[in-house]
């Protein structure tokens, strides 16, 4: 039961963070392409921006730690920048 509540809360937080980021891009007229990345093994990166030909990946976590998805994404796109967004630094992501 706790897992499903935690998952539901995390899903809602992701939706709000994505929405707030899109609003920032729109109002500040930031030209980007937005994506998400998932492979067959279910590894993923939650939010990707392509700005100026560079991929900026964002992984949303409660605590700062690397995931398998980050390692595989970096192996596939070695020039990409990965940022971990946590409860401590999320304002920097949306403001």
Residue 73: C-alpha distances to residues 22, 35, 38, 58 (Å): 22, 13, 9, 11
2-21 per-position pLDDT tens digit: 333 344 445 555 556 667 77
The DSSP secondary structure of 1-66, one letter per residue, reads -HHHHHHHHHHHHHHHHHHHHHHHHHHTT---EEEEEE-TTS-EEEEEEEETTEEEEEEE-SS---
- Predicted pLDDT at 30: 80
CATH for 85: 3.40.1350
25-49 per-position pLDDT tens digit: 778 888 888 888 888 888 888 888 9
Whole-model pTM over 0.85: no
Number of residues in the chain: 95
Q: Quote the domain boundaries for residue 89.
A: 2-94
Q: How many domains does the chain have?
A: 1
57-93 per-position pLDDT tens digit: 998 887 777 777 888 999 999 999 999 888 888 888 8
């Amino acid at each position: 039961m706790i897992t499903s509540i935690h998952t539901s809360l995390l899903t809602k937080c992701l939706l709000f963070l994505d929405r707030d980021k899109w609003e920032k891009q729109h109002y500040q007229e930031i030209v980007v392409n937005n994506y998400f990345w998932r492979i067959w093994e279910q590894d993923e990166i939650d939010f990707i921006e392509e700005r100026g030909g560079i991929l900026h990946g964002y992984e949303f976590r409660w605590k700062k730690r690397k995931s398998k998805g980050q390692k595989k994404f970096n192996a596939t796109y070695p020039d990409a920048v990965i940022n971990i967004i946590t409860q401590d630094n999320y304002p920097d992501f949306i403001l």
